[in-house]
Amino acid sequence: MAKKKLNKSWLHDHINDPYVKLAQKEGYRARAVYKLKEIDEDEKLIKPGQIIVDLGCTPGSWSQYARNKLAGAAGGGINGTIIGLDMLPMEPIADVHFILGDFREQDVLEQLEQLLKGQKVDLVLSDMAPNLSGIAVADAARVQDIIDLAVDFAQHHMKPSGSLLVKCFNGSGYNYLVEKFRQEFKTVTPKKPKASRDKSSEIFLLGKTLKNPL
């Protein structure tokens, strides 16, 4: 019964959420786009000519936003490259290359290398999050695992001057993640955009300029 009440409460909040309404109005696939938009407007992350990789991109609102920021190239299309990767299918987005699969697997990395054509990435975005169990220690380990993967990906594929933006949670294991970012990046900034729900412990970590590029 409690679960039913919770679902009803979530549905009510969701339907009345101003960011949900705005996303529908502006043609974005998820309210999460406004988290990236606010961080981008603060930090000036997305610029024409960049190569951007969106890890865990489905349903695609972050890729949509990046695409809109790079739009306006002569003759249509975009000035730059956007590559989205996810283990879940994604409806196509104009000018966005999508790779279906796990980026830890060789065949997926080979597809990525073909698209990159020997170039390194300017910006790695990750809105990935594990399925949370409610058990703090287990959830912290799952979040750490995903962020370790994103950092490792950035070390292998990103320009030394590039930036990595990841989603994490302010709770058990958060200090470890901040420390990890400080070991790997010259500048580390936690970001809590207004579009993150008040009840959520969600927070984003932005790392700029690799200390130890591979």
CATH class of 31-210: alpha beta
* Alpha carbon distance 158, 122 (integer Å): 6
Query: 167 an active-site residue?
Result: yes
pLDDT of residue 8: 63
pLDDT of residue 15: 64
3-state secondary structure labels for all residues of 8-63: HHHHHHHHCCHHHHHHHHHCCCCCCHHHHHHHHHHHCCCCCCCEEEEECCCCCHHH
Q: Judge whether 13 is annotated as a binding position.
A: no
pLDDT of residue 135: 86
The domain spans of the chain are 31-210
Q: Judge whether 10 is annotated as a binding position.
A: no
Could you tell me the end-to-end alpha-carbon distance of the chain, in angstroms, rounded to an integer?
A: 52
Tokens (6 digits) for 74: 């002569």
pLDDT of residue 133: 85
Tokens (6 digits) for 72: 């306006």
Residue 159 belongs to what H/E stretch?
strand 158-169
Q: Which of 4, 167, 194, 199 is catalytic?
A: 167
Q: Judge whether 62 is annotated as a binding position.
A: yes
* Alpha carbon distance 13, 10 (integer Å): 5
Please list the pLDDT of the chain residue by residue as tens digits (214 residues): 455 555 665 455 666 788 899 999 999 999 999 999 999 999 999 999 999 999 999 999 999 999 999 997 666 789 999 999 999 999 999 999 999 999 999 999 999 999 999 999 999 999 998 888 888 888 889 999 999 999 999 999 999 999 999 999 988 889 999 999 999 999 999 999 999 887 888 999 999 999 988 8
Give the list of residues 6+ apart from residue 170 with CB closer than 8 angstroms, or none. Answer: 201, 202, 203
Q: Judge whether 17 is annotated as a binding position.
A: no
